[in-house]
Structure 1
């Protein structure tokens, strides 16, 4: 999940390449979308190859599921302090550094035969994600004229559903055919490609003076910020409890061989979702957010009640994708709107809580798997979505208003 790049003062933006026309710099935006793809796929790829990774590294599936948790912990622990510490860095240099760290971490994951070493590599990848997510949405805004900034962010955020719709299923398939480690080497190669792409096409911008943690925490007093942060924390937790263990859950249903197809359905639906959100978010943020929460809750109910029919599992995956695909854009936009002049601080907290929830989802899912069993996953999602819906509906004046300012 991303934080918004703080807006620099006129003096600080001297020499930067600000947009001069009504055209979007598509090559540069697509480079950023590919960077988003890499960060998203690196985070979620273990979900598709979890049984194979656990077998090769000699640990249980619940232990291997913590490879998603440790990644999120790396991001959650470092997003705010690294954003503050590197605030003065040139933006392009910082983004290239983050992508290079992904290449190193994915290579280490691929060649490791030792569980602790793999977990260290995953933590490093999470740290790199903390840097990247703190830049990407703000970069998109800076490269676009004001009236096209929402569209620019939507283009960059397509990296998330593409990772889910194509990346994870493709990685799952490669893992079956060639070995899970091959998928991480492919990620390294892709990171090297995007480094060259960013270097060639993405404009550079100066950093800014560090704001410090006091201002970041001060954003909590801004009306609307707290509801958005609560929804982010619980919504992402609900999603991750199931998604981190989707291969294990499908094994439980006797559909383990269909994991890549189920993820493909989920991902394609996510692409549709982000297209709808990108087209309608300016006027319908509240309706879209409520609709997303309802769709995820309905998908969980279908999985909990009707998963004996495999066709309905695919339908549930489609509903889940339709609900989830636009959530990153919706929550990021809501956080920026609610934060107002402190949007940068609100976004920094949002990305931290997003990854706390990712880490928590891996832990909660592992505990549920070991104590109750995989059948508990959809019911846990359904329980968590109840307060999410309640807060979204209640935050009508601030947080998720009927009309955006």
Structure 2
């Protein structure tokens, strides 16, 4: 297990100043871009998919659920089975899986076949997300791990703010099948560049592998997973049901405009996290969850104010943008050699939060109304904030990483 040590800047080992492999990390970010765009495309194409398969919007929405289910089912087993496999071939195989899945989706004749394809795509998502953060950490020095993760994880907000809206526009212009086909083409390009430009890294050595259950018992791992679930559940409750929330608030904002602002703000959050994560992981995590609480409070007390709503969305986006890097850095530091398994657990917790956001959010919206969402955001974010505050020894330690 990595033991955090407080160091001054002057005391940083010379090897930590080695140049980052930016090209390789950017290609990892593009891999994440493909994963997130594949995951979220059905949401932007929902009316077109429902019309094509002659089903309701709710039935077509299960294309997102099937993907998340595939991720939950596959993340931990696939990483457990591939712990000793070299990382580069594994990434190439995972991306090839996305090429096949999106190509099949572009030709899917029925909803049932599309659901099966989406489940398979989700399984490959579990494989790549489970190993990507550990791969990024393995090709840099320990002192560069946080910045490396910030670059490698940048594909998520880029996909949310640019990729999915662009895919939705393409679908409405020339047909939804072309949206999935375009992701397949992008995947081929990224695979070729990965083969040419990304260095390989070994899998976990057999002598350092411990049983899955014992990974969960490593000090700090369970706390980080608890933060992942509560924090991301808070996020997904509002993100999934942003349209009914805005409709109920009556501030005159369109969901696509709000999500664009959110995505741009998330990019700012990644930039801030990239600068500070190796020096102030604990403070970043506390500030980010506190920003969620503040954003929820603004939405609660001034729900009808357009300027306040925009400010709340910006706070929410900035705080969310760096969350993946912060959480994966924290669990990687705590898990040490078992980082891949721990990240697979993180991926599972994240996707369970997506499930929870859909189910609990539906109960809140249909029962108490969309105005209940900020209350849930505040409550869950406060739980995450308290967990981070008490996780000062192993999960989110003080000082420089």
TM category (shorter chain) comes to 0.7 to 0.9
| Aligned partner of 1:285 among 281, 284, 292 | 281
| Aligned partner of 2:125 among 113, 129, 146 | 129
- Counterparts of 1:291-330 in structure 2 under 5 Å? 291-330=287-326
Counterparts of 1:247 and 1:315, CA distance in 2:
17
Question: 1:56·1:113 contact (CA, 8 Å) conserved in 2?
Answer: no
Question: 1:47·1:247 contact (CA, 8 Å) conserved in 2?
Answer: no
* CA-to-aligned-CA distance 1:122-160 (integer Å, 9 cap, x gap): 211111111111222222222223433332222111112
1:77 aligns with 2:76: no
Question: 1:48·1:247 contact (CA, 8 Å) conserved in 2?
Answer: no
Counterparts of 1:368 and 1:292, CA distance in 2:
24
* CA-to-aligned-CA distance 1:193-230 (integer Å, 9 cap, x gap): 11111122122334456689962211232222221110
1:224 aligns with 2:224: no
Q: TM-score, normalised by structure 1?
A: 0.84
* CA-to-aligned-CA distance 1:304-346 (integer Å, 9 cap, x gap): 4434344443332211101100000101111122224544443
Question: 1:69·1:362 contact (CA, 8 Å) conserved in 2?
Answer: no
Counterparts of 1:63 and 1:370, CA distance in 2:
18
CA RMSD of aligned residues (A): 3.0
Partner residue, 1:351: 347
Partner residue, 1:147: 143
Counterparts of 1:253 and 1:59, CA distance in 2:
30
* CA-to-aligned-CA distance 1:152-198 (integer Å, 9 cap, x gap): 22211111221222223323433444444433222222112111111
| Aligned partner of 2:101 among 92, 97, 105 | 105
| Aligned partner of 2:237 among 238, 241, 244 | 241
Q: TM-score, normalised by structure 2?
A: 0.85
Provide closer, same or farther for how the CA distance between residues 156 and 73 of structure 1 changes in structure 2, counting only shifts above 3 A. same
Deviates most, 321-330 or 167-176 = 167-176
Counterparts of 2:232 and 2:113, CA distance in 1:
27
Counterparts of 1:103 and 1:256, CA distance in 2:
39
* CA-to-aligned-CA distance 1:225-247 (integer Å, 9 cap, x gap): 22111001111122122223434
Partner residue, 2:395: 399
Partner residue, 1:27: 23
- Counterparts of 1:248-263 in structure 2 under 5 Å? 249-250=245-246, 258-263=254-259
Partner residue, 1:195: 191
Question: 2:50·2:57 contact (CA, 8 Å) conserved in 1?
Answer: yes
Unaligned 5+ runs, structure 1? 1-18
Question: 2:154·2:267 contact (CA, 8 Å) conserved in 1?
Answer: yes
Counterparts of 1:321 and 1:63, CA distance in 2:
29
Counterparts of 2:249 and 2:109, CA distance in 1:
30
Partner residue, 1:41: 37
Partner residue, 1:5: none
| Aligned partner of 1:385 among 376, 381, 384 | 381
1:333 aligns with 2:329: yes
Partner residue, 2:271: 275
Counterparts of 2:114 and 2:48, CA distance in 1:
14
Counterparts of 1:167 and 1:341, CA distance in 2:
34
1:251 offset after TM fit, Å?
Answer: 5.3
Counterparts of 1:106 and 1:251, CA distance in 2:
33
Counterparts of 2:198 and 2:121, CA distance in 1:
22
Counterparts of 1:209 and 1:134, CA distance in 2:
17
Partner residue, 1:4: none
- Counterparts of 1:208-223 in structure 2 under 5 Å? 208=204, 215-223=211-219
Counterparts of 2:77 and 2:206, CA distance in 1:
10
Unaligned 5+ runs, structure 2? 1-14
Provide closer, same or farther for how the CA distance between residues 323 and 206 of structure 1 changes in structure 2, counting only shifts above 3 A. closer
Partner residue, 2:111: 115
